[in-house]
Amino acid sequence: MKKAGMNIALLAIVTLCSVALMASSALARTQFVSIGTGGTGGIYYPYGGGVAEIWSKYVPGVKAVAEVTGASVENVKLAHKGETVVGEVMGDVAEAGFKGTGKFKGKKHNILSMAIMYPNLLQVVTLKKSGITNIEQVKGRHISTGSPGSGTNFMAENVFKALGIPLDSYKDSRLSFTESANALRDGTIEVGIWSVGPGTSSILDLATTHDIHIIAFTPEQVKKILAYNSNYSAVELAGGVYRGVDRPVPTIGVWNVMICQRSLSADLVYKLVKALYDHNDYLRKIHPSAAYTTPENAVKYSPIPLHPGTIKYLKEKGIQVPARLTP
């Protein structure tokens, strides 16, 4: 009887050890993919959350998660340091990080392009009662150019430099999208700047309670801005996106890029990219801007070289990759 009890105990120990080993083995096989997004008041976060769901569900052995970050500039730095694997970044910021220019202070970052996401539109928002109708009226005002480390702040300062607006000529609160909307609502700032896909939740919410005005750029201003940075393009914010903004608004656009660590294996990136494109219909349900996330746009609009895993996928699809996008 005692011997039988000992055998049962030994069997239990062996079983527990086997279960532990199996769990350990499964954990070892799991590749954790962190996606640097932005604040919760923009599109990066829900878009990144949708990508994480697709990868976790359709790429065997991958567990992906979207992380709230300071957005573009911070996402380049996080990917370079290995604190994230993938980052959502504005094209002008991706190019600056790759080349080591601007805010990256001469340090080239080890990133490559994985996919093109969708275009951002610069949306300079004020309340109608402010009487501000021209971007150059920010001088002497309380404004927000976006949170520190964000692509919005990066782009806003580029635009000001292009137009000859001194960066010390206004008081900058540097708030997140949600904070900027609240500050406009409370009257603590007079102008808030967003670089984001049209129809972003923070501006939509503000427009439901206040009469907003989105400042248009003049043809002369657009010309100066495009000459300053080749990643920018002249676009229009369609009328009817926000309550009370019924006519198209001339502004500036820039494409968003999904970057990744240069050191990621081509096999992993190939699987991630394939799942992203194969299940784009799900991503479009989360936000319609995902309709721009196509293989063709990857070669049309990427500002920096593509990862070898992406190139492998594109070639399988019969899409020619230009030499400038080959690392």
Rounded to whole angstroms, the maximal C-alpha distance in the chain is 95
Q: Give the per-residue pLDDT at 42.
A: 86
Quote the CA–CA distance of 256 and 234 in Å, as a whole number: 15
Q: Return the closest-CA partner of residue 177 out of 7, 40, 17.
A: 40
- Give the pTM: 0.85
Tell me the domains of the chain and their CATH numbers: 28-118+257-325 (3.40.190.10), 120-254 (3.40.190.10)
Query: In the predicted model, is pLDDT for residue 253 greater than 70?
Result: yes
How confident is the model over 202-226, as pLDDT tens digits? 999 999 999 999 999 999 999 999 9
Q: Are 146 and 175 in contact (CB under 8 A)?
A: yes
Quote the CA–CA distance of 39 and 325 in Å, as a whole number: 30
Average pLDDT over residues 245-273: 97
Q: Give the per-residue pLDDT at 28.
A: 53
* DSSP-derived pairing of the beta strands 212-214 and 111-127: antiparallel
**What pLDDT band is residue 11 in, cutting at 50, 70 and 90?**
very low
CB atoms within 10 A of CB 134: 12
How confident is the model over 17-54, as pLDDT tens digits? 444 444 444 445 899 999 999 988 889 999 999 999 99
Query: In the predicted model, is pLDDT for residue 84 greater than 90?
Result: yes
Query: In the predicted model, is pLDDT for residue 6 greater than 50?
Result: no
| H-helix or E-strand spanning residue 7 | helix 2-29
Any bridge partners for residue 253, and if so which?
121, 233
How confident is the model over 93-141, as pLDDT tens digits? 999 999 999 889 889 999 999 999 999 999 999 999 999 999 999 999 9
* 17 vs 254, residue with greater confidence: 254
Quote the CA–CA distance of 299 and 115 in Å, as a whole number: 9
